[in-house]
Amino acid sequence: MLPNKVEASVEEAVADIPEGARIMVGGFGFPGIPEALVKALMDRGVGNLTCICGPWYGGTRRTIGTASLIASGQVTRVITAPPVAPGPDPASEDDRMHLEIMPQGTLAERIRAGGAGIGGFYIPTGIGTSYEEGKERMTIGGVDCIFEEPIKADYALIKAQAADTMGNLVYRLAQRNWNPIMATAADVTIAQVDEIVDPGMLDPELVITPGIFVDRIVIAGGDNDPS
């Protein structure tokens, strides 16, 4: 029998995420944020989470997004890239939230390395800046580089436009962003989609995230209205 990865509800899809989990959340600005999964996770109230995400300046007031999860008090550690968005000021929160910040391309590459089984890599970005502090430096082919480690997660909450029941995913326009790389880098990848179709309904040439990377899929609402 073909695997059926479809979950009945967002609540069920995130039901087993425990306290202290490391969670990747996709999205850049508004497009691609799995807001229903994030909301379900907030409703569960599990704490001490580590959130791995891009800049979370989207979804601050009227909408549910990465920003609201981080503001919820459930997150104690954020691994992200600048700009670090408005929200709880880390300094005023009695160090309740630990921030690890790195250049955006380095974050993307570390997540991709986590998904691709790479043990670490040497990258020139950030050389001579504070990003280099505490990191190994090596000159390779005349270029000064910093050693960066892969990042993995227990769960990835991602958003795609459509899935088939085997978890193959397609994205629409700027919705893609962090989602395909995060899908590869977590033990359990949960995708919120607008539409689920039967296997064979997605053109294999157009599948961006193959189903082997995706464990659970659930249908939930469209993108937030940014107005």
Partner 1 sequence: MTLPKIPRISRELMACRVAAEIQPGHVVHLGPGLPEMVPPYVLPSRGAVFHSANGILGFGPRPEHDIGDVQLVGSGGRTVTLLPGASIVDQATSFGLIRGGQVDIGIVEASQVSESGDLVGPVEMGGGMGSHAAATDVAEGAKLVIAMMEHTTRNRSPRIVTRTDYPVAAKGCVDLIVTDVAVIQVTPQGLVVRELARGWNLADVQAITDPHLSPAPDLGYMSFWMIGGDIPSKVWKSGPEAVADIPDGATILMDGFAGPGGMAQYLIRSLREQGAKDLTLVSNTAGIANVASFGTPPGFLTIDHSLLVESGQVKKAIASYPVSPRPSQPSAFELAYRRGDAELELTPQGTLAERIRAGAFGIAAFFTPSGAGTTLAEGKETRTIDGREYVLEQSIRGDYALIRAHKADTLGNLVYKGTSRNFNAVMAPGARITIAEVDEIVEPGMLDPDAVVTPGAFVQRVVQRPADFHPYEPV
Considering the rule CB under 8 A, would residue 123 count as an interface residue with partner 1?
A: yes
Q: Residue 27 corresponds to which tokens in the numbers above?
A: 């999205």
Considering the rule CB under 8 A, would residue 42 count as an interface residue with partner 1?
A: no
d(CA 99, CA 95): 9
Q: Which stretch binds partner 1 (CB under 8 A): 5-13, 15-23, 43-51, 166-174?
A: 166-174
Considering the rule CB under 8 A, would residue 37 count as an interface residue with partner 1?
A: no
Task: List the interface residues with partner 1, window 202-221 (CB under 8 A).
Answer: 205-206, 208
Q: Which stretch binds partner 1 (CB under 8 A): 11-19, 37-45, 72-80, 121-129?
A: 121-129
In this structure, are strands 153-164 and 22-25 parallel, antiparallel, or unpaired?
parallel
For partner 1, which is the closer residue by CB, 108 or 156? 108
Considering the rule CB under 8 A, would residue 141 count as an interface residue with partner 1?
A: yes
Torsion over CA: 115, 121, 126, 129 (sign): positive
Considering the rule CB under 8 A, would residue 76 count as an interface residue with partner 1?
A: no
- Please tell me whether residue 9 adopts helix, strand or coil conformation: coil
Considering the rule CB under 8 A, would residue 55 count as an interface residue with partner 1?
A: yes
Instruction: Please report how close the Cβ of residue 4 comes to partner 1 at its closest, in angstroms.
Output: 26
186 phi, psi to nearest 5 deg? -120, 155
Considering the rule CB under 8 A, would residue 30 count as an interface residue with partner 1?
A: yes
d(CA 215, CA 155): 10
Considering the rule CB under 8 A, would residue 119 count as an interface residue with partner 1?
A: yes
Instruction: Please report how close the Cβ of residue 20 comes to partner 1 at its closest, in angstroms.
Output: 19
d(CA 21, CA 215): 17
d(CA 202, CA 196): 10
Considering the rule CB under 8 A, would residue 24 count as an interface residue with partner 1?
A: no
Torsion over CA: 88, 227, 163, 219 (sign): positive
Considering the rule CB under 8 A, would residue 99 count as an interface residue with partner 1?
A: no
Instruction: Please report how close the Cβ of residue 206 comes to partner 1 at its closest, in angstroms.
Output: 6
